[in-house]
A and B are shown apart, each in its own frame.
Chain A
Amino acid sequence: MALSVSEVLPVAVPRTRRQIWSVGGGKGGIGKSLLAASVGWQLARMGRRVVLVDADLGGANLHTCLGLPTPERTLADFIQRRVSSIEECLTDTPAPGLRLISGAGDLLSAANIKHLQKVRVMNHVRAIDVDVVLIDLGAGTSYNILDFFLLSDVSILAVVPEPTSIENGYRFIKSALYRRLRAAAPTDEVRQLVDAALDPKNSLGIRTPVDLLARVEAEDAEAARVLRREVAGFQPRFVVNEVRDVADVGIGHQLVAACARHLGLRASYAGFVHHDDSVWQAVRRRRLFMADAPTSRAAEEIRQLTRGLVKGESLGHGY
């Protein structure tokens, strides 16, 4: 049975100034890990104490992005209780202020971690004494991934300017939003409507979150108000990776407009990163391009988008 977000996120966890950031995107191979590593690197350069968490439990490679060998201790050791605290899994990186919790290891089982294990991981991740915990989510839209994305203060959605990536990006957004709405649904009837909306071919004709809210509004105005508040609180921030021209840059603006117009969502455009040979040259040397090619266009763009994310700013609306 699907568990609600409120079950996953106990309200007793104290709020501090510590922030959780996450990088998701639905599709594999679109540069999520490099984006997470480089944004984390830049945050550390800006004086933040940062822990990168590789939550791509089935295909972790964040350590390689940072030029590290496979760490001795990983998230798997914590999940399987071979270590007692998550701090024991922290690995230093070449960048001062930036540490890593790797997801690498023998993790075929960990990729499907159980609910209670997930809650334990989440609670301990949230309790790490740093300024920013930055989570690199794996590909796909499993509940584990969506829940990490939903608990974040800054939810970054990476796409590349290709139809498959953008299609998966929308699927990711809708899945995350419906999971959030389902958790907030005040009655069984409303929860059933959200469940119906999850099936794109449902018989009620609910195709988008806008349709869902209209339907809920017709049946239960108070519930609709609750759901609207949840929708308003869901603000994914797009990063368009691997752009090659002005038209690719413009896709981010179009995604924000399409989300507003057809999903009723207040997404924003955090920034873009150009396709840059120095990035893959650095990857081949197993070095992070932020350190290896700090004057590259991609490195400068990462610096700009990270500063924007810290300030809560985004690019304008594209016209």
Chain B
Amino acid sequence: MGTATEPRPEGIRTSASRSAAHGDLYAVLGLEPRASREQVERAYRFCLELYGEGSVATYSLLEPTEAEQQRLQVREAYEVLVDVERRRAYDEGRGLLPPDSPVLAFPVRVSAAPAAELPPVLTGADLRKIREARGMSLRHIAAVTKIGLRFLEYVEEDRFALLPAAVYLRGFLLEYARLVGIDPRRTADAYMGRLPARG
């Protein structure tokens, strides 16, 4: 019996195939971006077994061609992530921190914009502009805050119907603003003031 630990909800946010379509090599292997080399190796072996020919866990879920497609994606992801240079280029392209950097390094470098500069009304597009101006990826925010990437995308796309209940949304906005380096409370107020009333 193994040690009981709470598992990370691997692959929950998107299905594996959709992760690959978005080019998320970490999600293909069920990893967080800061995974160590050893974790990459272990996840690779796990995924090869998961999608291997005759795997009891997937043979009745996937057609043989789908399993082959999954194996292909797993190999491609592994080949990039196991190669130091290729992984660095990939991480940089997606605004991710290198795996050996301290977690808090990024936000510390960001200079917070004075609260007075925030407009009274903030749209998702405004938030995206502020974030991009600070060179921060949405994926990074998702990784640090543990907020689902999908929800962060909904916030920036103003997809109000898909956003969670107000109390959670407010929490998301506070976290988002803290990381981006703008006033959390004002950000939440300025964004949520635009929400249509929900029954």
Contact = CB atoms under 8 A, between A and B. Distances in A.
Interface of A: 161-163, 166-167, 170, 208, 210, 221-222, 224-225, 249-251, 253-258, 260-264, 266, 268-269, 271-272, 300-301, 304-305, 307-308, 311, 313-319
A268 B6 CA distance: 9
B109 interface: no
Given A161-B56, A170-B60, A308-B4, A264 B10 contact: no
B42 interface: yes
Interface in B1-38: 1-12, 15-16, 18, 30
A258 B49 contact: no
28 contacts: A170-B60, A210-B15, A210-B18, A222-B161, A224-B162, A249-B2, A254-B55, A254-B57, A257-B57, A260-B9, A261-B15, A261-B16, A262-B15, A262-B16, A263-B61, A268-B7, A272-B1, A304-B1, A308-B4, A314-B6, A315-B3, A315-B7, A316-B3, A316-B7, A317-B30, A319-B39, A319-B43, A319-B46
A317 B57 contact: no
Contacts of A263: 61
Contacts of A249: 2
A280 B177 CA distance: 60
A178 to B, nearest CB: 15
Contacts of A225: 161-162
Contacts of A161: 56
Contacts of B16: 261-262
Contact of A253 (B5, B46, B58, B61): B46
Contacts of A266: 9, 12
Given A225-B162, A257-B10, A260-B10, A170 B61 contact: yes
B194 interface: no
B57 A251 contact: yes
B158 to A, nearest CB: 13
A272 B2 CA distance: 9
B159 interface: yes
Interface of B: 1-12, 15-16, 18, 30, 39, 42-43, 45-46, 49-50, 55-62, 159, 161-162
A222 B162 CA distance: 7
B165 to A, nearest CB: 10
A257 B1 contact: no
A267 to B, nearest CB: 10
A249 B49 CA distance: 13
Contact of A254 (B7, B9, B50, B62): B50
Contacts, number: 105
Contacts of B43: 319
Nearest to A163: B56
A31 to B, nearest CB: 17
Contacts of A313: 4-6
B45 A258 contact: no
Contacts of A314: 4, 6-7
A271 B15 contact: no
A257 B45 CA distance: 13
Which 7 pairs show the lowest CB-CB distances between chains A and B? A254-B57, A261-B16, A319-B42, A319-B46, A167-B60, A260-B11, A313-B4
B56 A317 contact: no
A313 B2 CA distance: 12
Contacts of A269: 7
A264 B15 contact: yes
A30 B115 CA distance: 62
Contacts of B58: 254, 258, 262
A229 B159 CA distance: 17
B49 A254 contact: yes
A224 B49 CA distance: 33
Nearest to A248: B56
A262 B58 CA distance: 9
A308 B1 CA distance: 11
A161 to B, nearest CB: 7
Nearest to A261: B16
Given A253-B46, A257-B46, A317 B61 contact: no
Contacts of B18: 210
